[in-house]
Structure 1
Amino acid sequence: MDCWTSSPDVDDEFAKLVLRMNPPRVTVDNNSSRKATLIKVDSANKRGSLLEVVQVLTDMNLIIRRAYISSDGEWFMDVFHVTDQHGNKLYEDDVSERIQQSLGPQGRSFQSMTSSVGVQAAVENTTIELTGRDRPGLLSEIFAVLADHKCNVVAAEVWTHNSRMASVVYITDEATGSPIHDSNRLRKIERLLLSVLTEDRDKNSANTAVSDGWTHKERRLHQMMYADRDYDMNWMNSGSSDRRKALVTVENCVDRGYTVVNLRSLDRPKLLFDTVCTLTDMQYTVYHATIIAEEPEAYQEYYIRHTDGYPISSEAERQRLIHCLEAAINRRTSEGIRLELCSLDRVGLLSDVTRIFRENGLSVTRAEVTTQGSQAMNIFSVTDSSGNPVKSETIEAIRNEIGSTILRVKEDEDSKSPPQESSRFSLGSLFRSQSEKFLFNLGLIKSNS
């Protein structure tokens, strides 16, 4: 469908009815390709279908090597060439069933992004969401507030980009290990965190609100940073440069009424998820797409229209889409040395570790905190306070203070050289022979010959 003008509630109920009548069909093919497993998904089309499929595959820790997308009309058909994280084919018997369950009418849908700092109760913990201006020591102060108020951080993820920070933190009550239900206590924590976020006296750099419902952590981070306009070049420090900048072109295909987006960047896990999130958040519908993600680089081509059914109509909109896609790709990548912390979990662990980082002049550019049973498994990317690489003697001093067997230097998987821009960047010739052949075979486009 080209237009979506009814209310969200009506759309949601209608989509559920259509899915009940036409449940997704998922087939897993291990015979057609020597290197990958083919997962084919056929279903009634609805807004966000592509993102749901990609999110399911990403959550299953599958690597999408290639993908062919078609969703014209009221039906979509997606073909994904996937492997496990070690590059092997899939042989689990329940892959198809797990995907069908996630995509069916009982699957969880995405919640809209309405807040910058929010506190909500989940089934097993309380979720805190934060966005604001990034600065050295910010994460240390956030974890210190939580530790002071008897909150145990069981998981968290922090992204920084263009001088902005977004974080989703899962906490429990220190005494009970359960979610925090005391509204007065939550309001106090929220107020103190807002004070930390606005310490620079820029009252417009952070806001507070309470959000409700279930959210997907990485999906939520994209929504939060997009709403916080991290793609706005005015946020960027004058001296900063992004060595991993993607190469993006956006052009209108007038004869077919599409806008064609070509994207080239370093290949990495979850890249497709990140770009599809942004297209969805910007209210674009992907009608056709071809994805080739063979290391070291990834190539993506999308045929899109705005949800009103029209292609991009202005230069300002075209530039905004380019900046937003570049931001989506670079949010997950991070500058600096990657440090891996593995130790017994305890209340205040993160507060202590990030305090040591701060006292040694380090700034955390990204963090991923997980807890497995009694074990804490945390990864930090750090630079010095000016954004420069950390000296080796500083890292060794920190490791000696925390424990050299507990804190280890992890190889930076994102340290490869970025793609070099040619005199005229265009992926049209790369994709036409593959994507158009695929779409022509489906009878979805006509031959140009």
Structure 2
Amino acid sequence: MGGSAMQGDERGIWMAGASISKEQGNYRWYVLAILTIAQTCHGIDRAIIGLVLKPLGNEFSLSGEQLGILAGLAYGIPFAIAALPFGYAVDRFNRKNLMTFALSAWSGATALCGAATGFWTMLLGRAAVGVAEAGGSPTGMSLLSDYFGTDKRATAIGIWYLSTGIGTALAFFLGGWIVEIYGWRWAFVAAGIPGLMLAPLLFLTIREPKRGQQDAPSEEASGPFRQRAGELLGRPGIFFCIAAITCIATGIYGMSTWLATFLIDSHDLAISSAGMVVAIAYGILGSLGNLVAGWGTDRINAARGGFDPGLTALLGAIIPFLTAITGLAAVGASDTTLAIVLVFAAGIFSSSYNGPIYAVIVTIAGPQLRGLAVSFVQLSANLIGVGLGAWLIGRVADEVGGRDGVAWGIAAAMMFCVVGGILLLLASLQIKKSQVARS
């Protein structure tokens, strides 16, 4: 009885924001829409490089490893370096202004990538995109957490993460058409324009919310950076969730970046057809998976009496295992139609973990450490995940050679999704253990 009562009390704490969230009215959904569009621009500008690897490599005579560096490390390392300063700023300064600045900067840098004259100028352009995009996720997620309480938080984050799929779909669908007609340079220019147009609207219409208004009162985290970081990473499940997202990002970003090249090399698809497949898989179907996972998690939690971070982490752990199974099957299929069907299945599961797992992270971190928490995730996921995933596949492709080199690289990257699922299981166990210990 004591344990049950304690878990009920904890769920009451997690649900503290539910009763006041309705006060925001329709405006919070407008904020969600604007931030989702901004993050869609983020997705377009990050993903567009994956579409143009083939023509870019041909024009500049680049190896698979060099292309992997441009798609991964050139973006991931600068992103990681900028992540913690942005996280520090998000927890202290006006987030609307930070988001406006970041959106304008990464959009402009993407457009300038179209003027690249070789490997090094493209590397500098991708680095600039990475630095600016480091501000997108921690700022957006911090804002959303102050507009949506725990009763709707996984749903809101799931909707916000539709941006990943929509951005990928637009990059590969419209980008494939632009590349075939106008060339790869204009694909970068077209990718940067939407964010430059959205930035003034975001600045003029989004209001800065009161920090922590959707959460139960808590002690304010203070002190030097090391103390704040230690406090954050000492909270149950946080370290395992960050490590899990890093591993999953290695597999998912690597596969999505090289998937068009895989379809061109192993199945002889035209670049527009390959772009269409990636757009459907990681755009339409990936967005659907994100929405269903976030909504389903909130429904399951509501049916069980309120937000339970241990259960939510457990639900999220299932997804990367399904991603690995379908991804491995896709690159191993010799029949083109079967391979495409399996790619679609992998796309559904690819990023569906985002809503549940980020809901766990931002809720356990609390309002005073939320920006730092998301920045830690972004640092690790981009420095190791995004950077390593794209590079690893390019390196394996060079080593194996031939038309199936990229397929072997993607297969290697899928193993990281398996590790990510295991880490989420450990996060769930640690959170549950902490709940029992407090009972």
TM-score, normalised to structure 1, is: 0.24
Instruction: Name the structure, 1 or 2, with higher relative contact order (CA <8 Å, separation 6+).
Output: 2
TM-score, normalised to structure 2, is: 0.24
More helix by share: 2
Between structure 1 and structure 2, the one with the greater Rg is 1
